[in-house]
Structure 1
């Protein structure tokens, strides 16, 4: 497929999605479903115009997925309307850590006992498929700053956190492929990959977001008329936070999400301190009122750079999902892969959500919807490519690629077809 054909195909697809034809809206098709359809049509499954080989292009796909997840995590973090208070965050925290751990365990058990994978590969597969996705789940994510809908907030904050909290299990699976289980290995893994990497990522994110907000405030106080490049500042915060996390072996995805939340909350706190009489609702006050928004939101780096980053997110989603469609063959739809996907959506996700939220006080209706919308997507693709680049044996790499990509495609189709009707019922009487 020549460069000219790629430009024509991507350009036509961008114009199609930009004009939002009524037929697509009537069919309730999500953007990801449209992109996937184009990839399937152009790929080896239909016309064979191109074929994307994720094993040979693992480094490239890992980089693309990594950038897409970072952008989405930052966008999700800047839209988080709720301050750091336990009452508001207890449900997504339980989902991101307790439910996610249960999801890894159940998926790993299926991989080991049903699919016949080695224990290390089964655990790695559980970690790869555990995180819910901030990229492909835009229909159920927080829409804008001040959106305090409980379902959107819960799914968005869960996706932001579990993209980091799943990493230790991927690492554990890869370690077990190269060494037998031992107390020393498990203790070292727990101290380094769980405690240190998680805690340090949270600290780095909190400090980075707070420091940028303070620096910008000081700059604007010194030169009130001097324009600041909010886009560059936001991208700089992503790069700085992620880079520092990598240098100290912290989970960079979690660090970037926390940095975005910290930046937005710091900007709001600083703006309120300058105008103590300002009538500002906090999301904590209106959290139980889904349609109410925060008034008089202060402007800042987070808000100023949001539109640019959302455009980059949509473009990265388009490219990655089209490439995903170009990986599929007729024999990709094996009983093993489809069975794993259905097991994950119908059993693992609802059961892990139910068990993780016992005693949380979350309404049953919220638990049921959260239990269904565990969208798998670009986060899983990144973890998969990370494992391949890490050095998986080729036979295992091909097996995990096959299983993971089919599960992601099934998620795009199944969750894409159900998201709008179910969200309409959620917002309805």
Structure 2
């Protein structure tokens, strides 16, 4: 794809990102649906020797998606009002510790038995499709930080749970991506199994969480508690959020922790120092704008690639796996994981379970894996993952607005079904 076409697509995407949120507000159509459709149309109409090449350039795509996800994770962390806790985030922990592993297991089994993938590739498919997306799920998440001078907005359980889940499971899916890669290239499981459990599954999570929280607390103290001109919040420059995103991510990765988790923990820690200052809103707005730009670029690339061969190896079995994940596997595993959550009403459980949006996180994980190892089933994996993302964008984009509006109306009327 030529540089001229890239500029054209990015400019068109920015125009759409500017206009669509206002035009589509309150409608059962989401901006990602429109941007993806424009990408499909561009792939059909615009010239180019190999429109599918940009999305299949694993290293380039991985870096773009990586930047999009970490920026989004900072925004998600800054938006949350309720601090993390075992009881206050009970539904979230259930989704992460029960629902996500079950989802990975079922998808991996389908990949192995129905798609005929090798066991390592099947595990990788399950891990890639496991995380809900912090980028494309904005319609069902907390919209932004509540600061001093704004009307207090109650964080309902649905938005809180979907937001906190998206903030954490992008990092917690990483051990299972590594599990698939280890199964491919590191020999018998006895040679590396203990290392995977102690370091890849546990150690890297602890390092990322602790480092991110400490850095966030220090940055929060600098922004809100420092004396004189060092108190960054008083100057109103929101670049601290972007600086923290990249610095904390890079530091966590350098020392071996999970950078995604570190960025999210950093944002939560910054909020914990001072939760009502208007500076949080300034930082969140900057993050949201950058996230929008990167998202539209990736969706345009994905849409163009769909019409240029990315779905070439999609079979009815692959369609079956994608449909099963969106309509059956995610809803059922998520529902089961929240069975013992007394704070979540039955109707709200179904909303949480149904909105497991797949998107940019899955693009990143697959690109990362394919840039790390040669995988003979790579094109087959891309076909299934791309189909599932498109299905999720369409289904969840159409249903998010009416479902959330109805849920809010029932909550205001006091008719939400009690837990049980």
Fold shared, TM-score > 0.5 on shorter chain: yes
Report if aligned partners of 2:220, 2:274 keep a CA contact under 8 Å in 1: yes
1:159 aligns with one of 150, 153, 166? 166
Q: Which piece of structure 1 moves more, 1-10 or 83-92?
A: 1-10
1:411 — aligned with what?
A: 392
2:328 aligns with one of 323, 338, 347? 347
2:150 — aligned with what?
A: none
SS of the aligned residue for 2:64 comes to helix
* Partner Cα distance (2:253, 2:341) in 1: 34
2:381 — aligned with what?
A: 400
* Partner Cα distance (1:100, 1:224) in 2: 40
Deviations 1:366-423 (A, max 9, x none): 1101111000000000000000001123x22111111111111111111111111211
Deviations 1:281-316 (A, max 9, x none): xxxxxxxxxxxxxxxx2234x333221111111111
* Partner Cα distance (2:231, 2:207) in 1: 35
When residues 113 and 226 of structure 1 are mapped into structure 2, their CA distance, relative to the original with a 3 A threshold, is closer
* Partner Cα distance (2:115, 2:260) in 1: 30
1:305 — aligned with what?
A: 283
* Partner Cα distance (1:6, 1:157) in 2: 34
2:369 — aligned with what?
A: 387
Aligned pair count reads 397
Q: CA deviation at 1:351?
A: 1.7
1:273 — aligned with what?
A: none
SS of the aligned residue for 1:219 comes to coil
* Partner Cα distance (1:32, 1:128) in 2: 20
Provide structure 2 residue ranges, at least 5 long, that are not aligned to the other structure: 147-152, 411-420
Listed as ranges, the matches of 1:360-371 within 5 Å are 360-361=341-342, 362-371=344-353
2:63 — aligned with what?
A: 63
SS of the aligned residue for 2:238 comes to helix
* Partner Cα distance (1:261, 1:267) in 2: 10
* Partner Cα distance (2:364, 2:301) in 1: 14
- Asked if 1:375 is matched to 2:357, the reply is yes
Q: CA deviation at 1:7?
A: 3.3
Q: CA deviation at 1:2?
A: 4.4
SS of the aligned residue for 1:328 comes to helix
Report if aligned partners of 2:17, 2:292 keep a CA contact under 8 Å in 1: no
1:275 — aligned with what?
A: none
Q: CA deviation at 1:48?
A: 4.8
TM-score, structure 1 as length reference: 0.87
Q: CA deviation at 1:28?
A: 2.5
Report if aligned partners of 1:132, 1:163 keep a CA contact under 8 Å in 2: yes
1:134 — aligned with what?
A: 134
When residues 307 and 21 of structure 1 are mapped into structure 2, their CA distance, relative to the original with a 3 A threshold, is closer
SS of the aligned residue for 1:305 comes to helix
SS of the aligned residue for 2:246 comes to helix
TM-score, structure 2 as length reference: 0.88
1:171 aligns with one of 158, 169, 178? 178
- Asked if 1:101 is matched to 2:101, the reply is yes
